Structure 1
Amino acid sequence: MARETRPTSGSDRRTGPRDDGTTRLFQACARLAAIALTITGTTSLSYLTIDVLGLRWLPSGCGEVAGVCVLPDHPGSRAVLGALVAAALGLVISWLGRRSRNRYEDAACKAGAPAPPDAPAPTDSARTASAPRPRRVAASEVSRGLQNRDFWATSPFHQQLSAAHLAVGLAIPGVVVGAVLLPLDAASSSGRLVAWPTVSVGLGLLALGFALVLVVSGRGSATHSRATLAVASVSLGTGVVSGLTWGHDGDAVLLRSGANTVSVLWVSALALLLPLILQQLAVARRWVRGDFFPWSAPVVLVLLSQVSLQMALLAMIALAGTWLRTLPVDAEHQVSPSDAGGELTAEGAAAAARTDLAPMAQTTVTLLVLLWLLLLLALLVGFFFGTWRINARTPAHLRPETVRRDLVSAYAARESSGVPGWAPPSGPDAAFWRSALRPGESGEAWVAGIARFYRIARVSRVLARFLTAAGILTFAVLALGTVLTLPGLREGSLGQAWAEQSVGPFRFLAWGALALPPAVLGLVATLWRNQNLRRIIGVAFDVGTCLPRSFHPFAPPSYSERAVPELGERINRLAANGGRVIVAAHSQGSVLTACVLAREGLLSTEARQRVALVSYGSPLTTLYRWAFPTVFTQDVLDSLAAGLVPPEAATARPRWRNVYYLTDYIGGRVDLSDPALDAEVNRWMVDPPTRWYVRGEPEPRIATHTGYGNDDALWREVDAMAAALDG
Structure 2
Amino acid sequence: MATELRVHGVNGAPAEEVLDRPWVGRVAGDTEAGFYRPRPETHATTGPGGADLEAYRWGSLTSGAAARAAWLLLLPFTLANVTVWLRPPAGPGGRAVVRGLCRLFALSLTVTFVLTIVGAAMDLVAWQCASPGTGCMAGRPWLRGLFTGFFVPPGRRLALGALAPIGVIAVLWALGRGTWARYESFRPAGARPDGDGLASPTFWHGRVPVGRLRALHIAVALATVDAVLLWVLVRHDRAGGFAGVDLGPLSASAARAIGVLLGVLTMVVLVGCALVLLTRGMMSRDAPARWAGSAVRAARGTALALTAASLGYALLPRAPWRATGALPGYGRLVTWLFAAQLLVLAALAVVVAVQIGAARRYGRLRDPLLGGFGTPIVGSLGLGLGVAFSAGLTYRVADYLDRAASPSPADWARPVARVRLEPPLSFQWAALGFLVGVVVAVLAYTWVRTVTMPRLRAGARAATDEDFPGGRSRDPARAADIDDAIVGARATDHIGGTVGVAWGVLAVGVLAATGLALAGLGPVQLAPSGSAGADLLHALTTAGTYLINLTALALVLLGVQAYRHQRVRRVVGVIWDVATFWPRAAHPLGVPCYAERAVPELAHRAAWLAGRGGVVLSGHSQGAVLVAAAVLQLPADARPGTAMLTYGSPLRRLYGRAFPAYFHDGVFGELAEAVGGGEPRWRNLWRRTDAIGGPVAPGGLDVRLVDPLAFDPPPGDRVAPAIAGHFDYQLSPAFAAQVTALLDRLRRPDR
TM-score (norm 2): 0.75
Q: How far has the Cα of 1:216 moved from its partner? A: 1.3
Once the two structures are superposed, the pairs formed by residues 451-470 of structure 1 within 5 Å of their partners are 451-470=483-502
Letter in structure 2 aligned against 1:204: T
Hey, what's the Cα distance between the residues in 1 that align with 2:477 and 2:380? 41
The Cα of 1:703 is off from its aligned counterpart by 1.4
1:593 aligns with 2:646: no
Q: In the alignment, what sits opposite 1:49?
A: 121
Bigger Cα Rg: 1
Partner in structure 2 of residue 96 of structure 1: 175
In structure 2, what is the Cα distance between the partners aligned to 1:52 and 1:591? 47
**Deviation at residue 447 of structure 1 after TM alignment:** 1.9
Within 2, Cα distance between the matches of 1:707 and 1:383?
27
SS of 1:145's equivalent in the other structure is coil
Pick from 577, 584, 602: which aligns with 1:549? 584
Inter-CA distance 42–505: structure 2 relative to 1 (3 Å threshold): closer
User: 1:271 and 1:203, CA in 2 relative to 1: closer, same or farther beyond 3 A?
Assistant: farther
Q: How does 1:158-237 map to 2 (within 5 A)?
A: 158-185=210-237, 186-190=239-243, 191-195=252-256, 196-220=258-282, 221-237=292-308
Does the aligned pair in 1 maintain the 2:428–2:541 contact within 8 Å? no
Amino acid at match of 2:371: P
Distance of aligned partners of 1:516 and 1:491 in 2 relative to their CA distance in 1, 3 Å threshold: closer
* 1:449 is aligned to 2:481: yes
Alpha-carbon shift at residue 29 of structure 1 (Å): 1.5
Are the aligned partners of 2:204 and 2:596 in contact in 1 as well (CA < 8 Å)?
yes
Report the secondary structure of 2:375's partner residue.
helix
Runs of at least 5 residues in structure 1 that lack an aligned partner in the other structure: 12-16, 109-129, 136-140, 329-341, 410-435, 647-651, 672-677
Partner of 1:116: none
> How do residues 142-157 of structure 1 correspond to structure 2 at under 5 angstroms?
142-143=194-195, 145-157=197-209
Cα pair 2:334 2:424 within 8 Å, conserved: no
Amino acid at match of 1:307: G
Alignment of 1:99-498 (within 5 A): 99-108=178-187, 131-132=189-190, 142-143=194-195, 145-185=197-237, 186-190=239-243, 191-195=252-256, 196-220=258-282, 221-246=292-317, 249-251=320-322, 255-286=327-358, 287=360, 288=365, 290-326=367-403, 356-358=422-424, 361-387=427-453, 390=454, 393-394=455-456, 396-398=458-460, 400=461, 402-408=462-468, 437=471, 439-440=473-474, 443-486=475-518
Decide whether aligned partners of structure 1 residues 249 and 272 sit closer, same or farther in structure 2, where only a CA change above 3 A counts: farther
Distance 1:217 1:496 in 2: 51
Using the alignment, how far apart are the partners of 2:324 and 2:370 within structure 1?
A: 53
For 1:435-457, what per-residue CA distance to the aligned partner results, in whole angstroms no more than 9, with x for missing partners?
x81624xx222222222222211
Q: Between 471-480 and 230-239, report the one with greater CA deviation.
A: 471-480
Alignment of 1:498-647 (within 5 A): 503-504=538-539, 507-577=542-612, 579-599=613-633, 602-605=634-637, 607-645=638-676
Distance 1:183 1:458, change over 3 A: same
Amino acid across the alignment from 2:693: G
Counterparts of 1:246 and 1:531 in 2: how far apart (Å)?
59
- Given residue 622 of structure 2, which amino acid in structure 1 is its aligned partner? Q
Taking only the aligned residue pairs, the percentage that are identical comes to: 25
Counterparts in 2 of 1:192 and 1:308: CA distance versus 1, 3 Å: same
Which whole-Å CA distance do the structure 2 matches of 1:717 and 1:26 have between them?
42
Per-residue deviation, 1:670:
0.8
Q: For residue 336 of structure 1, what is the aligned residue in structure 2?
A: none
Question: What is the letter of the counterpart of residue 71 of structure 1?
Answer: F
Tell whether 2:112 aligns with 1:40.
yes
1:574-593 Cα distance to aligned partner (Å, 9 max, x none): 2323x132222211121111
- Structure 2 counterpart of 1:700: 721
CA distance 1:710–1:323, shift in 2 (3 Å): same
Indicate how the Cα distance of structure 1 residues 183 and 25 shifts in structure 2: closer, same or farther if over 3 A, else same.
closer
Q: Which residue of 2 aligns with 1:668?
A: 694
Which is worse superposed, 49-58 or 453-462?
Answer: 453-462
Matched to 2:241, the amino acid is S
* Residue segments in structure 2 that go unaligned for 5+ positions in a row: 1-79, 244-251, 283-291, 406-414
Query: What CA RMSD, in Å, does the superposition of the two structures yield over aligned residues?
Result: 3.4
**What is the rounded CA distance, in whole Å, between the counterparts of 1:41 and 1:373 in structure 2?**
25
Amino acid at match of 2:685: V
In the alignment, structure 1 residue 71 sits paired with structure 2 residue 158: no
Cα 1:469–1:31 change in 2 (3 A) is farther
In structure 2, the CA distance between the partners of 1:560 and 1:359, relative to structure 1 (3 Å rule), is closer
Q: Deviation digits for residues 324-365 of structure 1, max 9, x if unmatched?
A: 44489xxxxxxxxxxxxx9889xxx9xx99xx3356523430
Per-residue displacement from partner, 1:648-694 (whole Å, max 9, x unpaired)?
A: xxxx32111111111110010113xxxxxx22211122111222314
Q: CA deviation at 1:21?
A: 10
1:721 maps to: 742
The 3-state SS of whatever aligns with 1:147 is: coil
Quote how far apart the aligned CAs of 1:149 are. 2.3
Task: Give the structure-1-normalised TM-score.
Answer: 0.78
